[in-house]
Structure 1
C-alpha cells in the first residue's frame, strides 16, 4: 500500500499552534519521513525531517506547494519551513491548486493552470489572496514564470518575438500591481516557449524556432538577443542557469538530450543524449527536475517501465550525459512516476515526485551533492490525494 510523504490531518492545526518544533541535531540520516501528525512517533519523524530540510540550506526558508488538480480536487494548502519548524498553511479565497509558484521579496506568485490570464498573489502567506487578471489581447493560461533580478517574468503558450505580435510576455515587480510587456528575440512573429530561466540577472527564453534561445538583461528585456549558434536539435523543455552558464534539456528522437552554453547563451552546444527509455517532465507539464547549485547542475529522469529514477550531476554543464556521474533510485512500486520539481543548496538536493495518477507524492533526498539519492521510507498515510508541485526558497 502506498503511503505518501505527507500525512495532513485537521489535528495538525492544533498541534502546529501548540508546538513550534526546534531544531535538534545536525542532519544525521540520508533520508527521513515528513509526517504532519500530532502523535509522539510522528513528532519524532517530523524532527528528523526538519533536520533534513535544515541540510537543504542551513537556516534557509522554503515553501512546498501542492496540487490535487489531476484528481479534480482542491489542495488549498502549502507548507512552510522556517526557523527550524515545519508548518502547514491552509488557505481560502485563493487558487484551488498551485501548479507553479515563485517567491519575490516575500510575495508569493502562483499559477493554477486553470484560470486564463491570471496570477494569484499573496503577501501574507495565504491569509489574503489577490487574483490579478493581466491585461492583454490574447486569452490563455500562463505556463511559465521566473524570478530574475527584481522582477517576475511570465509567458503563455506563445511568446512574441516581433513588436507587431499580440502575444507578449509580461513582467512585474514584487508589488504585482502593474504589468509591462516584454518580447523575446527570434526569426518569426511569435514562438512557442519551452521554458524561462535566470542566471546572474540574465533572462533566458527557449523557443521552438532556430536558434531556439533568446536572452536579455533582466533589467532591460527590450534588449533581447538571439543565440548566435545552437547545435541542439530543438528547443529546451527545461533550463537552469548559473555564473554565466546555461544547461538545457530537450526532447529527442528517440532520446532526451542536453545542451550547454558557457557564454551566457550566445552559443549553445549539444552535449549528448541521456539513456534510452528515460523521460523528463517538461516545464509545460511541471517545473521540471532540473536545478542549479554551487556544486553544478542536477537533472532527474524516470524510466517508466521499471519506475526507476535516475539523477545526474553536471559539475559545469559542459559534460556529456554519458560521461556524467549518475545514480539510480527505485521509485516503485508506484505507477507512472514523474519528477515534478528540484531544489538544491550546499551538498543537499531534493526532488519531488508524483505517482499513481497524481494521487501520491514524495521526495527523494541526496546529502552528498547529488552523487547518490535515497527514497524516503514513507510510513504515514495522507488522507487527501495530491502531489508536490514546487519547492521554492523564500527570498
Structure 2
C-alpha cells in the first residue's frame, strides 16, 4: 500500500515555519518596512518570464540574491512615503537653499557627482574618481582603490570585508532597537562602531522634533579620540582634519583658540557664557523651533546623549561641532559637500550657515 506522505510534509512545513520565526522573529526585521515582500529586494534566479524585470539592475546576478547593487536600490525620488532612502536621483533633486525643505535626505544626493561635478560629493564607484585627488582623501592617506559605498574602501558596513555585499550582509534585517555600534546592523546608518539617533524618515523635511541626532564628544585635547562619534568616522579617511598633536589647536593647553583647523568634537558649552556661540543658532532655527536656543537643521550640532533628537540646546555637551555641522555625506549642489552655498554668500544666497555659530559675524 502506498504511503500517504502529505500529512508528513504538512507537519514538516509547519515546524520549519515556526523554527524560522523563532530564529528570526518579526522584531528582527526593524530595517525592513512591515509587510514588504521579499521580492521587493530579492530575486531567486535573476530571471522572470525569460528575462529580467525593469526595476532590476542590468548587471546581475547580484550577491545575496538582491535585485540591484547599492546605488541601484537607492536610486529614486524621495516623497516622504518611500520605504527606501534614495541617495541618487536621475533628475535634479529639489535641494532648496540648504537641503532642509526639498526632497533630499540627511546625506544629500550623489546626483551632482553623477553629472560630472566631482567636487560636489564623494566620488564613489561607478562614478569617475576625483581628477585632482584620485584615491587620496583630503587630509588622509591613499586608499588602495576607488571609494565605494561599503567594504574595505567604503563607508558603510564592516570595512574589514573586501566587497560591498560582504560588508553589509544581514544588516538590513537586524534588530536596530538599540544603536550601540557593536555590529553593522546596530550601528548608526550601518557605519560600524558609530552611535546616533536615526530619524525614521532619514530627515525628509525635518523639524526640531524629528531629525537625526549625531554623536559627538566633549573632548579636552586634540589627541583625544572617541571612536563612536560621527566626526571620528569621517576622520578614518580625513584624519588630519580631526585630531593629532599640533594639527588642530595652537593653544598652549592643546585644545582651544587659536585654532589651526576648524575643530570637531568640540562643545560650544566650553565657550564664555557671553560669547557669540551662546547665541546659536542665530538666524537659523529649525522648523517648529521654540525657546532661546533651538536646534538648527541648517547647521546641526552633535551631543554625547543621542537617545532622542534635541529640540533645544542647553550647552551641556549638546552643542558639539561635528563634520556634519557643515557637510553632507553624499553630496550637495555646493563645493566640498557643504550644506549651504559657502562660496556664493552673500552674492547669490541669503543663507550663510557659518552664522549659526558665529552669530556676531553676520
TM-score, normalized by length of structure 1? 0.26
Q: TM-score, normalised by structure 2?
A: 0.28
Which structure is higher in RCO with an 8 Å CA cutoff and minimum separation 6?
1
Greater percentage in strand? 1
Q: Which has the larger radius of gyration?
A: 2
